[in-house]
Amino acid sequence: MAANNLAGMTLAPALYRRSGIHGTIVHAIGTEIVTGVLHEGERLPGDQELMARFQASRTALREALKVLSSKGLIESRQRAGTRVRSRGDWDLLDVDVLSWHTPESITESFTADLVELRELIEPAAARLAADRATSDDLTRIEAAYLRMEMAVDDYEAFYVADVDFHLAVLNASHNQLVQRLAGIIGTVLGLSFGLQKQARIPLRESLESHYDVFDGIRQRNRRAAERAMRITIRRGRNTLSQRRTIMRGQTA
């Protein structure tokens, strides 16, 4: 969603198309695998059953299964049918595979992995942005921050603005490889946001560190921008810890 709504920015590829039977099959089965409806090692229903379920031709079904196979989710063998591969084989940096996770299906260890990925990429991107951001980059970052300020009581609007902020910083690094990670980071932020929304964590708390990121980039202060981004991610990690505590209390 938000990974592609900044006109003129160089971003990672969009999610796999959802239109048509082919896309419907890819997303439906992919979601069932990632969320554990279909378990690792489990055999998928046969072609006839899947064709009937999705009202699909054999060609459409097989093309969809090829897509899922390319993402490491399934494998087909003669006489053994098509089975779900182990999680270690999944392409977890694929934006579709990431997006098919739900708050309920994300483990604490995978949440930690997501945070660590952000810690590896985003502070360095902020540091580069402090050197390389153009006036247009600064305008985009500031505009996203101002939208966050105005949306502190609206989770959905805040999320869109927050993702746009982080993507604008990545783009302002003007490193082609970092820019290609934008779709991944946007999807990771979406997963984190879903976890926060469940627990109704106040949004206003994150504004200060986001402003400091923008200000560090604007002032061409590499250390300040990098430090502020680390603080932003650390606060996000603490928020997720709060969420787990709250959710445990609700289920106790």
Alpha-carbon distance of 219 to 103, in angstroms, equals 37
Final residue of a structural domain among 29, 62, 89: 89
Same domain, 143 and 43: no
* Per-residue pLDDT reduced to its tens digit, 111-153: 889 999 999 999 999 999 999 999 999 999 999 999 999 999 9
Which residues are CB-contacts of 29 (< 8 A; sequence separation ≥ 6)? 38, 44, 64, 65, 68, 74
How large is the average pLDDT for residues 188-206?
77
Helical residues (DSSP H) of the chain, grouped into ranges: 20-34, 47-54, 58-70, 95-99, 108-132, 135-150, 155-172, 176-180, 182-199, 207-218, 222-251
The Cβ of residue 227 has, within 10 Å, a number of other Cβ atoms equal to 18
* Domain assignment of residue 48, yes or no: yes
Q: Which of 33, 63, 89 finishes a domain?
A: 89
Residue 232 sits in the same domain as residue 118? yes
pLDDT of residue 233: 94
Domain boundary among 62, 89, 116: 89
- What pLDDT was estimated at residue 242? 66
How many domains would you assign to the chain?
2
Coil, strand, or helix at residue 201?
coil
Tokens representing 74 are: 């399934």
Tell me what percent of the residues of the chain surpass a pLDDT of 70: 87
Task: Say if residue 248's pLDDT is above 90.
Answer: no
Q: In 57-107, which ranges are continuous DSSP H helix?
A: 58-70, 95-99
What are 8-45's pLDDT values in tens digits?
343 344 566 767 899 999 999 999 999 999 999 999 99
- Range of lowest pLDDT (148-152, 187-191, 226-230): 187-191
The answer to whether the beta carbons of residues 132 and 172 sit under 8 Å apart is: yes
Instruction: Please write the tens of the pLDDT for every residue from 66-76.
Output: 999 999 999 99
Identify the pLDDT of residue 247. 56
Closest CA to 187 of 70, 105, 111, 99: 99
Q: Which of 213, 244, 221, 212 is nearest to 107 (CA)?
A: 244
pLDDT at 104: 81
Q: Is residue 7 very low, low, confident or very high in pLDDT (cuts 50, 70, 90)?
A: very low
- Identity of residue 231: I
Task: Decide: pTM greater than 0.85.
Answer: no
pLDDT given at position 79: 79
Q: For 23, list phi and psi in degrees, rounded to 5.
A: -65, -35
On average, the pLDDT of the chain sits at 88
CA dihedral (125, 127, 130, 132) positive or negative? negative
Amino acid making up residue 154: D
In terms of domains, do 106 and 78 share one? no
* Domain containing residue 27: 20-89
Selection from 127, 133, 165, 129 nearest residue 146 by Cα:
165
**AA letter at 57:** S
Average of per-residue pLDDT across 226-246: 82
- Residue with the larger pLDDT of the pair 123 and 181: 123
Pair (216, 247) in one structural domain: yes
Q: Judge whether 46 lies within some domain.
A: yes
The share of the chain scoring above pLDDT 90, in percent, equals 66
Quote the pLDDT of residue 188: 87
Q: How many residues does the chain have?
A: 252
Do 153 and 83 belong together in one domain? Answer: no
Residues 177 and 229 in one domain: yes
